[in-house]
Structures are given as structure tokens and as C-alpha cells.
Amino acid sequence: MTNSYYFYHSKQKTMKKNLTALFVIVAAMMTIAISCMRPQPDELIIGTWKVDTIIMDGVDTSKVDLMQLGKALQMQKQVYFVVNESGQMDLISPFGAKTADWTMDNDSLILTATFIDNKQVSKIQFDEITETDLILVEESVNGTFTTKYKKQ
């Protein structure tokens, strides 16, 4: 009787271990499948983006010409960009339009734009990319500027 008791409990422990291992494997597979279904930043960034809001933080008003800063912010609000699936983007501003080739590092959220006319390379690190919003935080000597872009 004791042999059958140990055999029964040993078999039960083995079954529990197998079920636990099976559960872990299924959970891992589901996690991988779900993460593969989620759009990547290089897919989310496709579209037309316009400035929604600009938030200034840490601006020392005694050292900054507020009139000039206001004009610069108003100018920035007129800038928008169109990112195409073809790997090109157009940056439109009151000064005209520029076209660049772009790539996105999905892990670091860094967009690298190489302007076609002068081969200048610009790297933009976004803080957040969603289907509807891009958040860009820029540090400068004048303070921190958080720009929120909305997809049009």
C-alpha cells in the first residue's frame, strides 16, 4: 500500500510539473504572438503630423526675450511633416518644403532623416509614439520644450 501511495503522489507531482511547464510555454507563445500583432513605431509614424501643443518648462523669463520666444513657438506651430511608407518624408514650413529619406529605430524611437538636397542628417528622439500622438521633449539652454503632434 505504501508503494502505491508513493507512486500515486509521485505521478501527481510529475503531472503538476508538466502542466506548469505547459502553461509557461503557452503564456510565452501568447505574449510573442500579441507583441507581433502590435504595430511598431515605424508603422505608427506613417501619416501627416501637425503640432497640437507646446509646453515650456524651466524657462528663465529674465534671460529669454519672450517676444522672440513667442514668435519662434508660433513659427513652430506652422511646421508639419508627412511621413510616407516609401521611406521619404516631407517637412513643410513657412520657409518652404524639404524632402528627406527616413528610418526609424523601433527600440530607441529615434527617427533619422537624411535631407535629399544637402545630405544633412537629423536625428529626432521621440518620447512616445502612438497611433494618434507623437511626443517630443527637447532640452535647450532656454528650458525644456515638450511638443505634442497629432496625426491628421
Give CA 65 to chain center in angstroms.
Answer: 33
Task: For 151, list phi and psi in degrees, rounded to 5.
Answer: -75, 135
How many CB atoms neighbour CB 149 within 10 A? 23
Q: Collapsing DSSP states into helix, strand and coil, what is residue 118? A: coil
Residue with cell 502590435: 38
Cα–Cα dist 138/122, whole Å: 14
Cell (9 digits) for 78: 506652422
pLDDT, one tens digit for every residue, the chain (152 residues): 555 656 666 666 776 777 777 777 777 777 676 666 789 999 999 999 999 998 888 877 777 787 887 888 888 889 999 999 999 999 999 999 999 999 999 999 999 999 999 999 999 999 999 999 999 998 887 788 899 999 99
Does residue 104 contact residue 119 with C-beta atoms inside 8 Å? no
Q: Please say whether the beta carbons of 60 and 143 come within 8 A.
A: yes
